[in-house]
Amino acid sequence: MNKNIFLSIFVCLVITRFSLGDVFSYTLEGYPKEERSCYLQSKTIGELFQSATNTKVLHAECVKETETGFDFVIEYESGAKLDFTSTDYRFGGVYQKGRYEKVKDCIDNLPAQSQIFEKATGLKTMFSYCAHSGLSSGKPWEIIITAPGKSSIQPELGGFMVFTKPQKVTFSEIFSGLETALSRHGSILADLVFSSSFPMGEASVHYFSKEHLNFSLDHVTKVPKIENCLAQVEEAKSWFKSSSNPPFTIYCGGPQFGEFELNMGVVERASFTYQNSIEKFKTFDECEEHKTEVLSHYTGSSLKQTLGGLCSRDFEEKSYIVVIFRQAKQ
């Protein structure tokens, strides 16, 4: 063979080899049934993936069918394995990925959640759908939104335990308070979902953030009457008007065993601390009568500023104490 012809064929083969990308696979799980056949739908799924990623799809295959959806594996050609951002949380801890009891409610809220996703991540949605978690949960329908690309702001899932039934506070008020608290951390609240089970419940927080955040809801006082607790709510709220990280909610919960509890929810580390007084009293009214005197013993620190105090039955005893709230001096 002529050396020039051989060299030309060799160069052509090399160029062809390096112009092709490697082959990778992408798994799509729980996608709703939209066609009479899973195999027919795999073709549509492959086309959607190719259009969204600007890659060449070599093969799209149906690999599993459930009562509510299909699973697919997509093989695509690319110079490198693609990154994706998705609300399909791989680790949610104990908190629920599901948000809705009925699939219709999930579908109705999908457009709004997709808008939040795109605004937070700056990415264009590739797949958005409602999938059944398969768990025996009261709210099994979860929202899956996926986009090609890796955003610095990621979908996150966290939450907090709810110890007693909230009183005299609305869901909107708690949502708004948490939304404001998250914005202080440069994060965006997408959904707040409550699930109840005796004797306590939980709240799942779906949000977008550059880092995983910690949430907590502490019950800090026990009082005999709802009127006592509601008064404490107003007093406590007045302390945090200029705080850098105030509670996102302060409310009364109960009744539990005839008592009401003051609850405070915070995101990340609270700007305040609280401790029980050494002094103890036989009744709530006696504690209230001596509260100012007790607080005077805890005022004057060079390091800590006393915000105030609330009377509470000791969680382990029948006596009453003053719960003293402080924060570091600026």
Residue 196 and residue 129 share a domain: yes
Q: Where does a domain end: 58, 82, 106? A: 82
Say how far apart CA 100 and CA 231 lie, in whole Å.
35
Residue 131 and residue 180 share a domain: yes
Non-local (6+) Cβ contacts of 301 within 8 A are 326, 329
| Residue 221 domain flag | no
Amino acid at 102: K
Instruction: Name the residue with higher pLDDT: 150 or 195.
Output: 150
Range of the domain at 32: 16-82
**Omega of the bond leading into 155 within 30 degrees of 0 (cis):** no
pLDDT of residue 136: 60
pLDDT digits (tens, 9 = 90+) for 246-292: 999 999 999 999 999 999 999 998 889 999 999 999 999 999 999 99
Residue 163 and residue 68 share a domain: no
pLDDT of residue 330: 75
Q: Where does a domain end: 61, 82, 103? A: 82
pLDDT digits (tens, 9 = 90+) for 299-317: 988 899 999 999 999 988 8
Residue 305 and residue 201 share a domain: no
Residue 194 and residue 100 share a domain: yes
pLDDT of residue 154: 96
pTM for this prediction: 0.89
Looking at the structure of the chain, the number of domains it has is 3
pLDDT of residue 213: 96
| Residue 307 domain flag | yes
Non-local (6+) Cβ contacts of 61 within 8 A are 42, 72, 73, 74, 75
| Residue 4 domain flag | no
Place of tokens 């995983």: 212
| Residue 249 domain flag | no
As a whole-number percent, the residues of the chain with pLDDT over 90 amount to 77
Q: Where does a domain end: 40, 55, 82? A: 82
